[in-house]
Structure formats: structure tokens, C-alpha cells
Chain A
Amino acid sequence: MINDLTNIVFGSRLWKSVFRHGWPSTPKNQQMVTFTNVFLHLHAVKSKVRSMRMTTTFWLGTTTTVLFALLTITGIALMFYYIPSTAQAYDNMKDLEFAVSFGMIIRNMHRWSAHLMVLFTFLHMCRVFYAGSYKAPREFNWVIGVILLVLTLLLSFTGYLLPWDQLAIWAITVGSNMAKYAPFVGPQIKFALLGGNLVGQNALLRFYVLHTIVLPLSVLVLLAIHFWRIRKDGGIGDPNEPVSSNLRFDS
């Protein structure tokens, strides 16, 4: 009876129109599913066993990415109850903590994931550095990584203002005054960043737009390039492999 049911469901035209290939239990099916799935095909069909081992990478890059995904999901959840207005932001934050069901855990997960993401980005960069995985042909990917670090720090900086509490205002006052020290264009950068001369409504709105749209999208695009480059540069770096540009197509 179960067999008939299984055949009806998995043999149906509807099922087959969505899932084109059989269950990935054979090597061929595993390859076909990975190759033809839009989400899975960013990953290579086959990976070296060495790159999967905990002691090779400590999975630091993976952890950082998972933290980013967590931040995105909890961030979107928080957006349903948060208004970037100087009159309402602090009260919204208090509501999320104490009046919204599961609001406290969503907010706390967001905050903890933010701190951990910065830490794990740093640890990941340490691992890459000490394993020599920044050497040719992976130099460009290292640069992408540095830009990702800067974007992570900017995400932390812009997010810090949103609760609109004392910590927020003074952190951004100090931070924007540091920007003012840049040569020639410092004062203009501060003016454009705050949308005015003081840390007020304009600044809160700009930081909100940066924090929820501009910076996450930039991270997403650069993450895609970052993963792509790992594949194209020959997979996870190995200190034993010779430093060479043999993987390039020219020269």
C-alpha cells in the first residue's frame, strides 16, 4: 500500500516537474542534483576530503557565513517592529524586548551573532594567513576578504545606532568625529554620513538604510564572488601545494 502511495507521489508529473532527477543516493544522481539545482550549484559537485576536515579550516568561514544568515533572518524579524524614528526607536526596542512574543530572544540572537561574526571573521582571516592561503593564485580572494571585513565592521557600526540609546549616540558621535579627521574631505564625509551637523533623525534614517539594504547586499555580492574564487583557485588552500599561478589560463 505504501509502495503504491510512494509511486503515485514520486512518479507523478507534478513531482517530476519540480525534482528532475532521482533521489541522490547514487553518485550519478548526487552529481546531477548538485549540478542542476540553483541553490546547490554554487558549490562544486565534488570536494576534497581534506577541505572538509575540522582541523583544516576549523570551519571558521562556514561559521561566519551561517552567522550572517542568522543575522539576516533575525534582522528581518526585528524590522517588523522597529521604526527608525528618533521619537520611537528606543521604545520599539523596549517593546521587542518585553512586549513581543519571542522578541527578547530574536533581539539577543541578533546582537550576539553580530559580535560573534566579527570575532569569527577575524579568526578566519588568521587561519587563512597562517595556512598561507592568501598566496598565489589566491591573492584576489584575500583582497575580497579584507573588503568583507570592512563591510562587517560597518554593519556593526551602523547597527549600533539603531536602538537610539546613550551607547548608540555617543558611539556614533565619536565615530563620525573620527571620520572628520580624514584629510581634505573629512568634514564633508561626516556631513554626508550624518545627513547634517548632528546625530539626529537624518543620521538614524541613513544608518538604517545602510544597515538593512546597502551593506547586506554588498556583503551578499562579495560573498558570492568569494566562494566562486575558492572554487576557481583550486579549492581550499593546502600549505603543501606549490605556490604557483599554474591555475591561470594565460602566461
Chain B
Amino acid sequence: MATPPGTNTHGPSDAQAAEQADMTRRAFLATVGFGAIAAALGGTAIGGIRYLFPNVLYEPSNRLKIGEAAKFGQNSVTFIADKKVFIRRVPEGFQAISAVCAHLGCTVNWSGSQFICPCHGSIYSPDGERVAGPAPRGLDHFVIQDAKDGQLLVDLGQVTTAADFHKA
């Protein structure tokens, strides 16, 4: 039986072509369907996690006026309890040393010659440098600035190095 002109006799038959085709309509719709479910669940999960991180915090201000420089004697260490910070004055200048232990957050005490943490025994030098105990690093230092009314201003949100003395 003669085949009509124009028929392709070299390629695969209709049945074979259907098997080798990239994707049937059914498979495509199934993929789109499950993909949509996955996207919806993923979006919900991401949204849910983002929801748990607050954008607005009602926490007390980080900027603290501590008085005029003359209030602090030479070679003194003054503890400001409610902000958990020590103000140290030495000939090189002022330092604001955090009283929060670098180990697990307890408030350290000034012994007269060093900072000692009562919780797990971390010890820091007068400079806030780690000397002994489980603390992984030294105490944080905060930036001190001059306020417009002549007082000193401690910014508990800005951390600086121990070498950064504020000159009164």
C-alpha cells in the first residue's frame, strides 16, 4: 500500500512519540498543582517566622547622661546600677565599661582592683580585659560623647575598643 506523499517515515510512530514527549498535560498540571501547594506552605512558613521578630521595641533608651567630668575623681570606678555600666576615670581619660559578664550575662562586681563575676568566676582587669574564667572575651566598652549641656553622654548602643579613651 503506497503511503501518501509527505508522510514522515523516518521518525518515531505516533505511539512512540507520545511516550518520548517531555511532559503530558496531566503531569504538567500535577506539577503546577503541587508546586503551588509547596509555594503556599513555604510562604506561610517564612511569613510565620518573620512574624516572630518584632520591628518595634519598647525598651529604655541607650543614651545616658552621667553628669559632668568633674564629678568623677581621678582613678575612680563608678557603678551605674540600673544601666549596668562602670565609669572609669584614669589619667588617659574616661572609659564606659559594661558590667554584663561576657560569659552568660551576670552583673560583675568591682573588687577595688579587678572585675569579678559572681556567677561562674570570670575575672577581668581594670581595663575590662579578660584575665581568667569561662568568659570568651573581655567586657564591652561603650562610646562616651560630650552632651550640649556640658555633661558626659554614654551611648550603650555603640561599642568601642578599650584603647578609645574619652578625653575630658
Contacts and interface: CB of A to CB of B under 8 A. Distances in A.
A-B complex is real: yes
Given A174-B119, A201-B58, A192 B52 contact: yes
A236 B148 CA distance: 76
B52 A198 contact: no
B104 interface: yes
B59 A177 contact: no
Contact of A170 (B53, B58, B106): B106
Contacts of B54: 195-196, 202
B105 interface: yes
Interface in A130-184: 170, 173-174, 176-178
Contacts of B104: 173-174, 177-178
Contacts of A197: 57, 59
Contacts of B59: 196-198, 200
Contact of A177 (B52, B57, B58, B105): B105
Interface residues of A, number: 16
Main secondary structure of the interface of A (DSSP, over half): helix
Nearest to A176: B105
B53 A174 contact: no
Contact of A191 (B53, B105, B106): B53
Contacts of B106: 170, 173-174
A173 B104 CA distance: 7
28 contacts: A170-B106, A173-B104, A173-B105, A173-B106, A174-B104, A174-B105, A174-B106, A174-B119, A176-B105, A177-B103, A177-B104, A177-B105, A178-B104, A188-B53, A191-B53, A192-B52, A192-B53, A195-B54, A196-B54, A196-B57, A196-B59, A197-B57, A197-B59, A198-B59, A200-B59, A201-B58, A202-B54, A202-B57
Interface of A: 170, 173-174, 176-178, 188, 191-192, 195-198, 200-202
